[in-house]
Amino acid sequence: MKEIETYFRYLRTIGVEFIEPGPFSAAPSACGDLEEIGQEVAACTACGLHKTRIQTVFAGGSPSSGLMFVGEAPGADEDEQGKPFVGRAGQLLTKMIEAIGFRREDVYIANVLKCRPPKNRDPLPDEVAACEGYLKRQIAAVKPVIICALGTHAAHTLLRNDTPISRMRGRIYNYEGVPLIPIYHPSFLLRSPANKKEAWEDLQKLRDEYWRLKKKPDNG
């Protein structure tokens, strides 16, 4: 009960006044060859990170909604559990997803890198280059309605630019024909709670754009 109270207090602090009900049933849409890609990732030794990982972290959730989140790389908790966004930042991401009316299990969550960089350092260009093909194949299989890039590294990798996230956030970009909105990474929001208001504005934009696109006949 206390946890629920804390959650609603948090929602109020980021400006949430109501929560929409989740619109999805448990049935996932076709997910192409995601399983096959995951098996390739599990055995991958294409960059030096395979030497220090406990295990690979391929993805979480489901492609059923067509809403896809892309983060940077696994951290310590993710490396241990083999799932993306399970630490404190992951808990905040779950709340952000729920605040716009989705269940975490209905959205697809992946990272640019599938193995943890030591001491959570930034991804190196050769690691991104070695790993990016998996993410591209995941996106091709998921066929997202819209992508939300979480933080600087995901936005820079997908959009091939180096614009500060503070200038990119909340804007709609195009990733190979798929709309993409960068927002602040949940880890940054934990360090900088003052930016949660902006993050909430961006999340509402993501939600509104998602539903606008879903009404198009080719997005079911």
As measured in angstroms, the least distance from the Cβ of 90 to ligand SF4 is 19
Which 8-state DSSP code applies to residue 28?
Answer: P
CA 55 – CA 114 distance, rounded (Å): 9
Q: What whole-number distance in Å separates Cα of residue 18 and Cα of residue 20?
A: 7
Residue 71 · residue 112 · CB < 8 Å: yes
Q: Which of 34, 86, 113, 181 binds ligand SF4 (CB under 6 A)?
A: 113
Gyration radius of the chain's alpha carbons: 17
Q: How far is the CB of 94 from ligand SF4 (least distance, A)?
A: 24
Find the binding residues for ligand SF4 in span 140-199 (CB under 6 A).
none
- Residues 18-77 interacting with ligand SF4 (rule: CB under 6 A): 41, 44-47, 49-50, 56
For ligand SF4, which residue of 130, 139, 165, 178 counts as binding (CB under 6 A)? 130
Q: Are strands 59-61 and 108-111 parallel, antiparallel or unpaired?
A: antiparallel
Residue 110 interacts with ligand SF4 (CB under 6 A)? no
For the bound state, the minimum distance from the C-beta of residue 218 to ligand SF4, rounded and expressed in Å, comes to 32
Q: For ligand SF4, which is the closer residue by CB, 56 or 138?
A: 56
Phi and psi (nearest 5°) for 69? Answer: -110, 135
